Amino acid sequence: MTKFQFALRVCALLVSGAACAAPPAEEENTLGKSTASLEEVHGIDYEDIYILRSIRFSRVTPTAFCDPAKTGFVSRFEDDHDMASISVRAADGRVMNESVRVAGRAHSCQGSTEDPTVLNFWVELTVNDSISSGRGTCVRVRSNWPEAGLSPFRCFADFNIVPAGYVGGLLTTNTMSSRDPLGPETNPAGYLNLSVATTRLWKQH
C-alpha cells in the first residue's frame, strides 16, 4: 500500500467530518534532479563540466588567429561559433531545448592532413569569461549519412592552455556537417547544426 492509499483509508475511517488534507507526494528518485554542486554531492570538486551546443556563424579565410606557430598546422578554415547552453529531461537525459541561451564562444581553425577523412583542429573556447585552448583532430565518420548532404564528425581538443586554477582539460564533440555551413539549421533540415560539445576542465588540488 502506498502512502497515498494509506492516507485515503485513514480519511475514510474518520468520523469527525473534518476535511482530509492531501498527503505529501511520494518521495521520488531524485538522481539527476539535484542542483547541488559536485562537491556537495560527492565531497569533491576537482573538475568543471560543460555541455554546450555550437552554432557556427562565420567561416573565413584563415587570419593571423590561425598562425601555424600557434596551431601547429596550416589552416584551411577559420570558424566562429556561439556556444549555447542546453536543457535535458531529468528522467533520461534527452535534450529538450538545444539553445537555451548563448553561454560562450568558440573560435577554431581547421587544416588538412594526409588522410582526407581527418582534419587538424585547434580551438579557443570562452565560457564564463575564461579561455581554454588546445589542439586535436576532427574525423569524418561517414559521408552522405544518415542522408545525402550530411556528414557526421567526431572532434576533440586537448586543452593545454587553461584558466588559472586548472591543470588541463578535454573537449569532445558529436558534430553534424551539412550543405549549409552556417546558422542553426542543417541542409537537409531536421538536424542540429553544428555540434554538441562536452568540456571537462580539471582543477588544481
Give tens-digit pLDDT for 92-109. Answer: 999 999 999 999 999 999
- Top pLDDT among 3 and 74 is at 74
Residue written as cell 586535436? Answer: 136
Kindly report, residue by residue over 50-69, the tens digit of the pLDDT.
Answer: 999 999 999 999 999 999 99
pTM over 0.75: yes
Q: Write out the H or E segment, with its range, that includes residue 15.
A: none
What are residue 95's DSSP bridge partners?
88
**Burial zone of 71 (CB within 10 Å; 0-12 exposed, 13-18 middle, 19+ buried):** buried
What are residue 199's DSSP bridge partners?
50, 171
pLDDT of residue 120: 98
pLDDT of residue 23: 42
pLDDT of residue 22: 44
- Top pLDDT among 3 and 109 is at 109
**Burial zone of 166 (CB within 10 Å; 0-12 exposed, 13-18 middle, 19+ buried):** middle
| Total number of residues shown for the chain | 205
Pair type for strands 151-161 and 166-177: antiparallel
At residue 5, does pLDDT exceed 70? no
At residue 9, does pLDDT exceed 70? no
- Helix then strand then coil, % of the chain, to nearest 5: 10, 45, 45
